[in-house]
Amino acid sequence: MVVSHPLARLLTDGVLPAQCPSRAVLDHVTSKWGVLVLVALSEGSLRWGELRRVVDGISEKMLAQTLRVLVADGFVARDARPTIPPRVDYALTERGRELTARLLPLMDWITANAEAIVSERARS
């Protein structure tokens, strides 16, 4: 089952040497809320308040923090209109779309199999 894969090189030196930049990006993407925000935006742009409602359970602080990281990484674009009350739209960038293209199949599989996995789970 050894698949020749571009990742193979990384494996020979250990899986992603600890201080490699991909570890940082990986942490952002796989952060508790990062994935969910990216998935939420995968269908189109959303306003702050919409994101807050759609991403069930996220606090305002965490939404702000998560968005700051995703914007800084260039996955999400922030579009603020200086109206009153303020209106801010968030949308995936091209880079964000490349990412979510790889993220969605994973999320699909997880949501499809989660119930089976949890119910079959060997008691600790």
Partner DNA sequence: CGCCGTACCCACTTTCAGGTAAGTTACTGA
Partner DNA sequence: TCAGTAACTTACCTGAAAGTGGGTACGGCG
Contact positions toward DNA, by CB under 7 A?
31-33, 47-49, 57-62, 64, 67-68, 78, 80, 84-88
Which residue, 78 or 95, is less far from DNA as judged by CB? 78
User: Which segments within 53-94 are labelled E, that is strand?
Assistant: 76-81, 87-92
Cβ neighbours, 10 Å, residue 17:
10
Q: How far is the CB of 86 from its own copies (least distance, A)?
A: 20
Binding to its own copies by CB under 8 A, coded x per residue (else -) over 6-45, reads: xxx-xx--xxxxx-xxx-xxxx-xxxx--xx--xx-xxx-
The two structure tokens encoding residue 96: 């964000």
Q: How far is the CB of 85 from its own copies (least distance, A)?
A: 23
By the rule CB under 8 A, 103 interacts with its own copies: yes
Which residue, 32 or 87, is less far from its own copies as judged by CB? 32
Q: How far is the CB of 87 from its own copies (least distance, A)?
A: 20
By the rule CB under 8 A, 74 interacts with its own copies: yes
Which residue, 60 or 85, is less far from its own copies as judged by CB? 60
Three-class secondary structure of residue 77 per DSSP: strand
By the rule CB under 8 A, 88 interacts with its own copies: no
Alpha-carbon distances, residue 123 vs 116, 118, 120 (angstroms)? 14, 10, 9
Q: How far apart are CA 79 and CA 120, in angstroms?
A: 45
Alpha-carbon distances, residue 2 vs 5, 8, 11, 55 (angstroms)? 9, 10, 12, 38
